[in-house]
């Protein structure tokens, strides 16, 4: 877990500082599959601005998630470019006035980055937007071998009538 000590910056109202930080990221578990972030640790730009009423925190980084495609299980990569902003009031009057990532002047960069990645994910991670997936009957990859199964199943109770029709 990567944290950053905001107190050490000793910022006064109106001051701003930019820091280059390295954030350790954990693999994500989605739908029983594992997606690995790269690079790991990820290089990020942290901008801390001290306002008269609190602290504005901004984080920017690019990360790629690698794992299986949701439809066909081929290797998929999802590139994310994240720009985040949080605010923490000096004297918060409600939970909305402070960020959960800043506790006792320790900024939880890993938790903040992980939550932002999860919120930025699409509904399905696909290797190609037009992925056809796997055949539900035989399990073959429909991207490589498109096909259909034509099976006519006849209810055994109607089988005698089918034979009459054929005669």
Q: What is the mean pLDDT of residues 91-120?
A: 87
Between residues 28 and 153, the one the model is more confident about: 28
Q: Rounded to an integer, what distance in angstroms lies between the CA atom of residue 132 and that of residue 144?
A: 9
Angstrom CA distances, 97 to 106, 109, 160, stand at 17, 19, 75
pLDDT above 90 for 105: no
Where does the pLDDT of residue 159 fall: very low under 50, low under 70, confident under 90, or very high at 90 and above? confident
Q: What is the mean pLDDT of residues 81-109?
A: 86
Q: What is the mean pLDDT of residues 115-126?
A: 94
Among residues 64, 76, 1, the alpha carbon closest in space to that of 31 is found at 76
Q: What is the mean pLDDT of residues 118-143?
A: 92
Strands 28-30 and 75-89: unpaired
**DSSP conformation letters of 34-85:** EEEEESSSEEEEEEEEE-SSEEEEEEEEEEEEEEE-TTT--EEEEEEEEEEE
Among residues 72, 82, 71, 73, the alpha carbon closest in space to that of 124 is found at 71
Where are the domains positioned within the chain?
3-130
Residue 39: cis peptide before it, omega within 30 degrees of 0: yes
Among residues 110, 141, 96, 81, the alpha carbon closest in space to that of 4 is found at 110
pLDDT above 70 for 152: no
């Amino acid at each position: 877990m990567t944290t950053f000590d905001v107190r050490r910056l000793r910022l006064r109202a109106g001051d701003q500082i930019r820091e280059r930080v390295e954030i350790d990221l954990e693999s994500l578990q989605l739908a029983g599959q594992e997606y690995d972030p790269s690079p790991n640790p990820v290089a990020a730009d942290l901008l801390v601005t001290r306002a008269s009423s609190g602290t504005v925190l901004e984080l920017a980084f690019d990360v790629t998630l690698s794992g299986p495609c949701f439809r066909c299980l081929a290797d998929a990569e999802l590139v994310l470019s994240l720009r985040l902003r949080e605010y923490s009031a000096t004297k918060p009057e409600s939970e909305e006035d402070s960020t959960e990532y800043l506790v006792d002047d320790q900024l939880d960069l890993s938790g903040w980055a992980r939550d932002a990645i999860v919120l930025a994910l699409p509904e399905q991670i696909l290797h190609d937007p037009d992925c056809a997936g796997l055949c539900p009957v035989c399990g073959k990859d429909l991207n490589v071998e498109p096909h259909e199964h034509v099976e006519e199943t006849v209810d055994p109770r109607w089988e005698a009538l089918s034979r009459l029709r054929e005669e």
